[in-house]
Amino acid sequence: MRDVDVASAPQQVFSPVMRFMAVAVLAIAGAGAGVAAQAQGMGGHGSGPGMMMFGGPPEHIGRGIDHMLDGLGVTDAQRAQIKQIAMAAAADLKTQHEAGRALRDKGVQIFAAPTVDAAAAESVRQQMLTQHDQASKRMLQAMLDVSKVLTPEQRVKMAERLKQRQAAMQERMERQQREHGPRPQK
């Protein structure tokens, strides 16, 4: 199997607001929990708004939320509401992820057939796009629901924390790239 050079693959462009919301939802609901690609079959991208799902058991999501909310001055009632929002979103996204797995399997079957049916492949691609859109909408709705629970001051603090986490993640990725170099082509 040949590795895909993601840097040269086409990228979708997302507004800074959408990017922030996707990162915030992920951090609130997953913070530290494993995250899997929602739509691996779409250009080989494993991240980005709407393409991630909240992973892990509920206790991991709960701990992640607690970690993200620590120091923001949230009340117990706010914490409970946000956990409920995150758990519901995680359950919905898990269902969508499972449906995506079935679509990826169908795509592999189409590719492995003696004659590749271009129309069937396009149909699967369209279904994946629809699913990606549904996941993105669900993540946005979760973020909007969380924004109604937090005060403006708490949202500003969370945004700063998310900005710091994003910078730390970027630094980690760059360090790994320097230390290990590019992945070899097979």
Q: Which helix (H) or strand (E) holds 25?
A: helix 16-30
DSSP one-letter code for 54: E
How many whole angstroms separate alpha carbon 100 and alpha carbon 95?
9
* Phi, psi for residue 8 in degrees, rounded to 5: -100, -5
Read off the pLDDT of residues 130-144 as tens digits, 9 standing for 90 and up.
Answer: 999 998 899 899 989
Query: Dihedral of CA 135/137/169/74: which sign?
Result: negative
The angle, 0 to 180 degrees and rounded to 10, between the axes of the packed helices 76-112 and 16-30 is 110
Amino acid letter, residue 18: M
Q: What is the mean pLDDT of the chain?
A: 75
Q: What does the pLDDT read at residue 120? A: 92
Q: What does the pLDDT read at residue 45? A: 34
Read off the pLDDT of residues 29-73 as tens digits, 9 standing for 90 and up.
Answer: 333 333 333 333 333 333 433 233 355 677 788 888 888 899 899
Question: Is the Cβ–Cβ distance between 38 and 96 less than 8 Å?
Answer: yes
